[in-house]
Amino acid sequence: MGASQTRLEHNYDDLTEKSGFSHEQIKNLYQRFQQLSGNNEKISRDDLERIPALNNNPIRKQIITAFFDKRNQHQNDVGSLDEIGFEQFLMVMSHFRPVNSKATEEEKATVRKQKLRFLFNMHDTDNDGIITLDEYRTVVEELLSQSGAIETEVARAIADAAMLEVASTNVPHMAPDDFYEGITFEHFEQILKGIEMESRMHIRFLDKNAATMRCGKLSS
């Protein structure tokens, strides 16, 4: 731990600049990273899947995939990684930072766009820039997957209705022969503008020492 920690300290400023977390927060997240990875340099999917608390989460697959998705690394890359290092872990986490209340309207809009982009990437699994009906159906099915025996028809209907809603709000005058290809990012922004993403999509990152935190039951 000692050696890696000093190495990390050199990078703190660099990481802070890239991700926006404070030093304390980065330290805490690094501790967690070490725990998850079993003190390795990189985390693989299995490491994340082993977290017991995630078992009850209906969308755990999508969440785990999001961590390994290159699109979330702010680097215009596509594809997915097999393992991620701490920096990439941090970059994904930075999507969930709360927005600074003193930020200007433009900054808030940028943050909002970023968060929406993250969500969009989670839905758009084939990375063609639009969420097709099938992809949306998958989303709803996954959401309802933990609720017992729900027939796929129900999930389908909900997804269909939602899709129609997007279509009718964004493209109100379609001729009968037009195809509505799928939800583009602009449409996605439009339909979700009721939810204030910048104030909803965040979690609290601890500033204090997390040594006494109860962690997932992973044996390192």
Partner 1 sequence: MAPLRRSSTLRLTGLLCLSFLVFFSRGFASHDVVSEKSSGTIQEDSHSQANSTAHKKTFPVLSFNYEHVRTPFEISLWILLALFMKLGFHIIPTVSHIVPESCLLIFVGLLVGGIIKATGEQPPVLDSNLFFLYLLPPIILDAGYFLPMRSFTENIGTILMFAVVGTLWNVFFIGGMMYAVCQIDAAELAHVDLLSCLLFGSIISAVDPVSVLAVFEEIHINELLHILVFGESLLNDAVTVVLYHLFKEFAHEQTITVTGAILGVISFFVVSLGGVMVGVIYGIVGAFTSRFTSYSRVIEPLFVFLYSYMAYLSAEIFHLSGIMSLIACGVIMRPYVEANISHKSYTTVKYFLKMWSSVSDTLIFIFLGVSTVAGPHTWNWIFVIFTVIFCLVSRVLGVIGLTAFINKFRIVKLTKKDQFIIAYGGLRGAIAFSLGFLLDNDEIKNLFLTAIITVIFFTVFVQGMTIRPLVELLAVKKKKESKESINEEIHTQFLDHLLTGIEDICGHYGHHHWKDKLNRFNKTYVKRWLIAGERSTEPQLISFYNKMELKQAMMMVESGSAAKLPTIVSTVSIRNVPTKGAPKPSRAISKSREEEIRRLLRANLQKTRQRLRSYSRYELLNDPLEDNISEARFRKQREMERRMSHYLTVPANRQETPPVRKVFFQPEHKVYTYDDSESPRGRASPSCADDVSELKETPEKPDQSSTPRANRDAELKPKEQDDQGDQLKVSRCLSDPGPNPEDDEDSTFLP
Of 22, 103, 215, 220, the one binding partner 1 by CB under 8 A: 215
**Whole-angstrom Cα distance, residue 118 to residue 69?**
10
- Contacting partner 1 within 12-41 (CB under 8 A): 29, 32, 35-36
Q: Which is nearer to partner 1, 106 or 177 (CB)?
A: 177
Shortest distance in whole angstroms from residue 104 CB to partner 1: 14
Nearest to 158 by CA among 146, 170, 166, 148: 166
Of 44, 51, 85, 110, the one binding partner 1 by CB under 8 A: 51
Nearest to 122 by CA among 97, 148, 95: 95
Instruction: Answer yes or no: are the C-beta atoms of 44 and 207 closer than 8 Å.
Output: no
- Contacting partner 1 within 179-208 (CB under 8 A): 179-182, 191-192, 194-195, 199-206
Shortest distance in whole angstroms from residue 8 CB to partner 1: 18
**Whole-angstrom Cα distance, residue 198 to residue 175?**
36
Instruction: Answer yes or no: are the C-beta atoms of 54 and 36 closer than 8 Å.
Output: no
Which residues, in sequence order, are CB contacts of 66 under 8 Å at separation 6+?
72, 92, 118, 121, 122
Number of residues that bind partner 1 (CB under 8 A): 76
Shortest distance in whole angstroms from residue 7 CB to partner 1: 22
Strands (E), the chain: 43-44, 83-84, 130-131, 183-184
- Contacting partner 1 within 154-173 (CB under 8 A): 154, 156-158, 160-168, 171-173
- Contacting partner 1 within 83-142 (CB under 8 A): 93, 96, 98, 101, 119, 122, 132-134, 139-140
Q: Which is nearer to partner 1, 15 or 36 (CB)?
A: 36
Instruction: Answer yes or no: are the C-beta atoms of 77 and 62 closer than 8 Å.
Output: no
- According to the binding rule CB under 8 A, does residue 81 interact with partner 1? no
